[in-house]
């Protein structure tokens, strides 16, 4: 089922067909001044090989009714060193069927006054990606005559079938002056119908000033606005950091959209209350007729308790309805128009399966509702941005006096009460027919996402070592492995498993690997590793470092400081139990001391124990939560840098010359 739209704009755009043309004043080159040439690496206190002097963008959506939106982009860049010449190579990808690139111009300006224009034959067009129904092409050009001390500028126009939507003035290099002009749609071609729909398709803009301030001006006047001018000055370069939230969450940006006439600064609940009835009506339409639904849920009537009925419905859907969202040929299936069609045909999209699950709960009289969420690797839900923002629809069970319990059988390999980690920690919009609320979905606990490895190490006389490993995974860890192997043939599956193992044990050679087929959790993975050199001999002693055989901790940090918050996929617990069998004729002389560290990010434990003829090394580390503010960086960095600091810990073996050993 298509995503629900919070406005009727797209319906208008696709149904109304009038042949009107848009006209827009073309951008032209700005005069080059002495100030432009004075720009240097110290202009904004941070050294950069290039600085963007000007960015001007004009978005003309006056002809939106005919699916013709025009965006003209003009940039001027000061080149200051050889490395910065890369800014003269410009790539413009576009969707061939729906977008068009027009009026490409460019030039290079030298200090001696010479101007070297971009020639038409220096502009190239090629296909870079093709899939069924989709072709992505790319315009490219390299501005001619670049030096280590020059100014370049270029402009082009792109025609789009839909609005541009946002402006992000923070760049990889500093920006001295930025302008964005939005000429929005005002009813051209709709006549009196515009006044009827204007309640739903009014232009709105929301400015998120995070690091620099965007000024806005309504033109020609605030009472009779035809366009909005946004400006910024002296924007520092955006420096991405690993494990950060998406850039559109961190950066200063302007969001431009059509939606409710309720002001973006007004009460958020007023808009979402008005939208809730529309949204829920779409579900009710999909839930009827429900003859097959009633028969299916009747099978769960005899089960004891509400929880067992919910889980039975959940597992029935995952077992009996093919999830076509995860198939490459999803387009080949007929579109379902009701829950009954989902159940009768035995297939559905992720959203349709979740709708069917919600309908089952309603049929069984279980108090429940829908949850609208964003994927946090794509952005965040902004209550003041009054338009459809969501990536998924989940289902919640209402619990008396407690937080709702959230389900998503439409997400493959997800156990009941789990949510995709992409939605953990996000603000969501939840509703039933009678109510709505905003709710932050909690993160899963570390112990729920556990990897437990049992390792058996045998050291040969030649110094090589074989390690037999049994890996047991639960929660998000288990799901990630299953998704990595989904829909793969034998060879592809083995390669995926090998990549999984090699990410944890990069120094070893994989001899064999087997994923046990189980319906639920835990997921069991077995494999054998070989190390050609595992020990060092020092006279009559052998030195063995256990960390050479323990899995790598998957996150590493080297920077001393951090500017932005950071997030991991999910909280996790990692347990390794390494049993070491010394080679024949050797016995244990010394073991390292145990390590017990209780850091702010979580516990870190390492224990050594002699058990008969074996050494048992146990390691536990637990990341208590996945989201951290930049101020907590030192704590998390310390947690993940513990393993490198312990890497030199050594087990000492000595030759066993006892009669008992000689007789073996």
Domain end marker among 421, 442, 463 = 442
Residues 116, 205: Cα–Cα separation, whole Å? 39
* Banded pLDDT at 460 (limits 50, 70, 90): confident
Distances (CA, A) of 221 to 52, 229, 232, 314: 30, 11, 20, 56
Alpha helices in 227-379 (DSSP H): 247-250, 268-287, 291-298, 306-320, 339-345, 350-363
How confident is the model over 70-95, as pLDDT tens digits? 999 999 999 999 999 999 999 999 99
Give residue 21's pLDDT. Answer: 34
Domain holding 623: CATH number?
2.60.120.1130
Residue where the block lists tokens 């003209």: 72
In a domain, 123, yes or no: yes
pLDDT over 80 (residue 425): yes
Give residue 16's pLDDT. Answer: 31
Q: Which of 185-189, 415-419, 496-500, 507-511 is least confident?
A: 185-189
Give residue 17's pLDDT. Answer: 32
Check whether residue 596 and residue 579 sit in a common domain.
Answer: yes
pLDDT over 50 (residue 335): yes
Check whether residue 531 and residue 572 sit in a common domain.
Answer: yes
Give residue 44's pLDDT. Answer: 67
Residues 26, 285: Cα–Cα separation, whole Å? 47
- Which helix H or strand E contains 640, and what residues bound it? helix 633-640
In a domain, 603, yes or no: yes
**602-611 and 347-348 as β-strands: parallel, antiparallel, unpaired?**
unpaired
Check whether residue 472 and residue 549 sit in a common domain.
Answer: yes
pLDDT over 80 (residue 52): yes
Mean pLDDT for 613-626 is 93
How confident is the model over 254-279, as pLDDT tens digits? 999 887 665 656 666 777 877 777 88
Mean pLDDT for 534-543 is 83
Mean pLDDT for 489-506 is 94
DSSP state letters, 48-104: -SEEEEEEEEEEEEEEGGGTEEEEEEEEEEEE-SGGGGGGGEEEEEEETTT-EEEEE
Query: Domain range for residue 584?
Result: 447-655
pLDDT over 80 (residue 286): yes
Residues 480, 477: Cα–Cα separation, whole Å? 5
Check whether residue 426 and residue 474 sit in a common domain.
Answer: no
pLDDT over 50 (residue 20): no
In a domain, 663, yes or no: no
Residues 269, 260: Cα–Cα separation, whole Å? 12
In a domain, 11, yes or no: no
pLDDT over 60 (residue 330): yes
In a domain, 17, yes or no: no
DSSP state letters, 201-260: SEEEEEEE-SSSPPEEEEEE-SSSEEEEEEEEEEEPPP---TTPPPHHHHS-EEEEEEE-
Mean pLDDT for 505-525 is 90
Report which listed range, 201-205, 487-491, 645-649, is most confident.
487-491
pLDDT over 70 (residue 545): yes
Domain end marker among 387, 416, 442 = 442
Distances (CA, A) of 242 to 47, 247, 378, 551, 567: 21, 11, 15, 21, 9
pLDDT over 80 (residue 481): yes
Q: Is the peptide bond before 551 cis (omega within 30 degrees of 0)?
A: no
Q: Which of 203-212, 400-409, 482-491 is least confident?
A: 203-212
* Banded pLDDT at 18 (limits 50, 70, 90): very low
Strand order in the sheet with 134-142: 89-95, 134-142, 123-131
Mean pLDDT for 145-159 is 96
Q: How far is C-alpha 313 from the geometric centre of its chain's CA atoms? A: 30
Check whether residue 529 and residue 567 sit in a common domain.
Answer: yes
Check whether residue 286 and residue 324 sit in a common domain.
Answer: yes
Residues 535, 542: Cα–Cα separation, whole Å? 6
pTM of the model: 0.85
Check whether residue 421 and residue 461 sit in a common domain.
Answer: no
Mean pLDDT for 524-539 is 87
Overall size of the chain counted in residues: 664
Q: What are phi and psi of 286, to 5 degrees?
A: -75, -25
Rounding to the nearest 10 degrees, give the CA dihedral for residues 256, 260, 266, 271.
-120
Residue where the block lists tokens 């998000």: 476
How confident is the model over 289-315, as pLDDT tens digits? 778 999 999 999 999 999 999 999 999
pLDDT over 80 (residue 218): yes
In terms of pLDDT, which residue wins out, 536 or 200? Answer: 536
Task: Give me the residues paired with residue 515 across strands.
Answer: 525
In the DSSP assignment, the letter for residue 113 is: S
In a domain, 418, yes or no: yes
- CB within 8 Å of 460: residues ≥ 6 apart: 466, 583
Check whether residue 213 and residue 240 sit in a common domain.
Answer: yes
In the DSSP assignment, the letter for residue 265 is: T
* Banded pLDDT at 11 (limits 50, 70, 90): very low
Check whether residue 71 and residue 169 sit in a common domain.
Answer: yes
Give residue 71's pLDDT. Answer: 96
Domain holding 428: CATH number?
3.10.620.30
Q: Which of 43-47, 489-493, 572-576, 600-604 is least confident?
A: 43-47
In the DSSP assignment, the letter for residue 652 is: E
Q: Which of 23-27, 153-157, 218-222, 289-293 is least confident?
A: 23-27
Domain end marker among 425, 442, 459 = 442
Give residue 224's pLDDT. Answer: 84
In a domain, 569, yes or no: yes
Contact between 647 and 576 under an 8 Å Cβ cutoff? The reply is no
Give residue 329's pLDDT. Answer: 74
* Banded pLDDT at 10 (limits 50, 70, 90): very low
In the DSSP assignment, the letter for residue 195 is: H
Report which listed range, 28-32, 129-133, 151-155, 656-660, is most confident.
151-155
- Take residue 330 and report the two structure tokens written for it: 């999803």
Check whether residue 640 and residue 506 sit in a common domain.
Answer: yes
Alpha helices in 321-403 (DSSP H): 339-345, 350-363
Check whether residue 97 and residue 214 sit in a common domain.
Answer: yes
Q: How far is C-alpha 271 from the geometric centre of its chain's CA atoms? A: 27
Check whether residue 79 and residue 199 sit in a common domain.
Answer: yes
- Taking the CA atoms of 378, 270, 354 and 365 in sequence, report the sign of the dihedral they define: positive
Domain holding 204: CATH number?
2.60.40.3140
In the DSSP assignment, the letter for residue 352 is: H
Domain count, the chain: 3
In the chain, % of residues over pLDDT 90: 62
- Take residue 136 and report the two structure tokens written for it: 């992505």
In a domain, 233, yes or no: yes
Mean pLDDT for 216-242 is 91
């Amino acid at each position: 089922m298509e995503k629900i739209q919070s406005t009727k704009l797209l319906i208008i755009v696709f149904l109304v067909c009038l042949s009107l043309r848009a006209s827009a004043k073309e951008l032209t080159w700005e005069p080059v001044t002495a100030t432009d040439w004075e720009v240097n690496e110290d202009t904004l206190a941070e050294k950069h090989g290039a600085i963007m002097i000007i960015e001007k963008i004009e978005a003309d959506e006056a002809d939106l009714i005919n699916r013709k939106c025009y965006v003209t982009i003009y940039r001027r860049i000061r080149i200051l060193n050889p490395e910065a010449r890369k800014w003269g190579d410009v790539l413009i990808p576009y969707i061939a069927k729906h977008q068009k690139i027009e009026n490409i111009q460019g030039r290079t300006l030298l200090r001696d006054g010479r101007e070297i224009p971009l020639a038409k034959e220096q502009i190239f067009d090629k296909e870079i990606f093709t899939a069924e129904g989709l072709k992505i092409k790319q315009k490219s050009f390299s501005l001619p005559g670049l030096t280590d001390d020059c100014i370049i500028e270029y402009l082009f126009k792109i025609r789009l079938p839909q609005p541009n939507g946002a402006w992000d003035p923070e760049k990889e290099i500093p920006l001295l002056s930025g302008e964005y002009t939005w000429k929005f749609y005002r009813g051209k071609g709709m006549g009196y119908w515009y006044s009827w729909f204007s309640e739903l398709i009014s232009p709105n803009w929301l400015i998120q000033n995070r690091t620099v301030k965007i000024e806005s001006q309504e033109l020609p006047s605030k009472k009779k606005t035809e366009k909005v001018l946004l400006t910024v000055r002296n924007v520092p370069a955006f420096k991405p950091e690993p494990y950060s939230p998406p850039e559109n969450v961190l950066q200063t940006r302007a969001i431009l959209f059509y939606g409710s006439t309720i002001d973006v600064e007004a009460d958020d609940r007023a808009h979402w209350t008005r939208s809730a009835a529309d949204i829920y009506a779409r579900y009710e339409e999909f839930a009827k007729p429900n003859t097959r639904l009633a028969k299916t849920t009747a099978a769960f009537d005899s089960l004891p308790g509400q929880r067992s009925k919910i889980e039975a419905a959940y597992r029935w859907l995952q077992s009996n309805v093919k999830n076509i969202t995860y198939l490459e040929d999803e387009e080949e299936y007929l579109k379902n128009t009701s829950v009954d069609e989902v159940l009768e045909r035995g297939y559905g999209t992720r959203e349709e399966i979740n709708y069917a699950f919600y309908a089952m709960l309603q049929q069984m009289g279980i108090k429940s509702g829908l949850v609208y969420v964003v994927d946090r690797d794509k952005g965040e839900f902004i209550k003041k941005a009054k338009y459809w923002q969501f990536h998924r629809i989940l289902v919640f069970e209402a619990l008396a006096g407690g937080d709702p319990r959230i389900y998503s059988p439409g997400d493959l390999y997800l156990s009941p009460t789990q949510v995709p980690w992409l939605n953990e920690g996000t603000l969501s919009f939840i509703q039933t027919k009678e109510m709505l609320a905003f709710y932050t979905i909690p993160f899963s606990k570390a112990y729920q996402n556990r990897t437990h490895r049992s390792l058996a190490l045998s050291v040969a006389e030649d110094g090589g070592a074989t390690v037999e490993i049994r890996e047991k995974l639960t929660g998000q860890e288990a799901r990630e492995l299953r998704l990595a192997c989904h829909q793969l043939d034998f060879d592809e599956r083995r390669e995926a498993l090998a990549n999984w193992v090699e990410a944890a044990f990069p120094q070893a050679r994989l001899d064999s690997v087997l994923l046990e087929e189980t319906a639920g959790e835990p997921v069991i993975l077995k494999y054998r590793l070989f190390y050609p050199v595992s020990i060092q001999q020092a006279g009559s002693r052998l030195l063995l470092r256990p960390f050479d055989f323990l899995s790598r901790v998957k996150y590493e940090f080297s920077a001393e400081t951090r500017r932005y918050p950071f997030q991991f996929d999910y909280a996790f617990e990692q347990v390794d139990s390494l049993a070491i069998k010394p080679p024949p004729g050797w016995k244990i002389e010394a073991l390292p001391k145990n390590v017990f560290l209780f850091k702010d990010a979580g516990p870190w434990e390492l224990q050594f124990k002699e058990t008969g003829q074996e050494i048992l090394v146990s390691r536990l580390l637990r990341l208590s939560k996945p989201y951290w503010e930049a101020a907590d960086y030192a704590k998390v960095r310390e947690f993940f840098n513990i393993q490198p600091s312990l890497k030199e810990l050594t087990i000492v073996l000595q030759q066993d010359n006892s009669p008992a050993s000689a007789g073996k």
